[in-house]
Amino acid sequence: MTMLDGVRKERAATTRAALIRAGRELFARQGYHGAGTHELVAVAQVTRGALYHHFQDKAALFEAVFHEVEADLVRQASAAVEALAADPWRQLHVGLEVFLRLIAGQPEMQRILLLDGPVVLGWPKWRELESAFTLGHIVDSLARSVERGVLREQPVAPMAHLILAALNEAALLIAHSEDPESTQVEVSEALLRLVGGLR
């Protein structure tokens, strides 16, 4: 790679990052349909050509923003339970509660991941992305709980899918609530009671 190629690559990465940053800001504040491409390029300080060079359309930019916000959510939730690695059953319980608490406390996550996400991406794609980010963590916690004798020997994949479905529904209830924090307390308690019954 020549020096010129390196400069171009770095410039392209900077432009892409600026577009994602602008998308994250505007999609969170105005919603997907309220954020026009003219505003996106103005906030990112790039041309419309640059937008369409990096992303096929506004929906593709939204998907990139969705990935970033979802990754942040999973990273924050994982960091909060990292110290509980020796107790996978407790780690699962605390992880689910922290996940929902983060959703309730961050309107950006509610808007991008749960209000606009299923509409813009379509339900099958949204569900696929949600699974990609969180299903593995649930499977791992359940598998380690079986190994330690906390759960009886059984296939963990079907159980993990059902827990994920309940978690997604709980998150959607929070995002659509007029009082997300109160709803989070209620749905977290219900979800943990449900999961606790597996023991």
| Amino acid occupying residue 85 | A
Q: What is the reported pTM?
A: 0.90
Provide the sign of the torsion angle of the four alpha carbons 98, 132, 193, 100, taken in this order: positive
CA angle 180, 184, 188 (to 5 degrees): 165
Contact 70, 147 (CB under 8 A): no
C-alpha 123/C-alpha 117 separation (Å) is 8
Eight-class DSSP state of 155: -
**Topology of the domain covering 1-55:** Arc Repressor Mutant, subunit A (1.10.10)
Contact 162, 142 (CB under 8 A): no
CB atoms within 10 A of CB 156: 19
Nearest to 43 by CA among 29, 63, 64, 54: 29
Domain ranges across the chain? 1-55, 58-196
| pLDDT score of 143 | 95
Does the domain spanning 58-196 belong to CATH 1.10.357.10? yes
C-alpha 59/C-alpha 84 separation (Å) is 38
C-alpha 39/C-alpha 29 separation (Å) is 12
Query: pLDDT digit of tens for each residue in the chain (199 aa)?
Result: 676 666 678 888 999 999 999 999 999 999 999 999 999 999 999 999 999 999 999 999 999 999 999 999 999 999 999 999 899 999 999 999 999 999 999 999 999 999 999 999 999 999 999 888 899 999 999 999 999 999 988 899 999 999 999 999 999 999 999 999 999 999 999 999 999 988 8
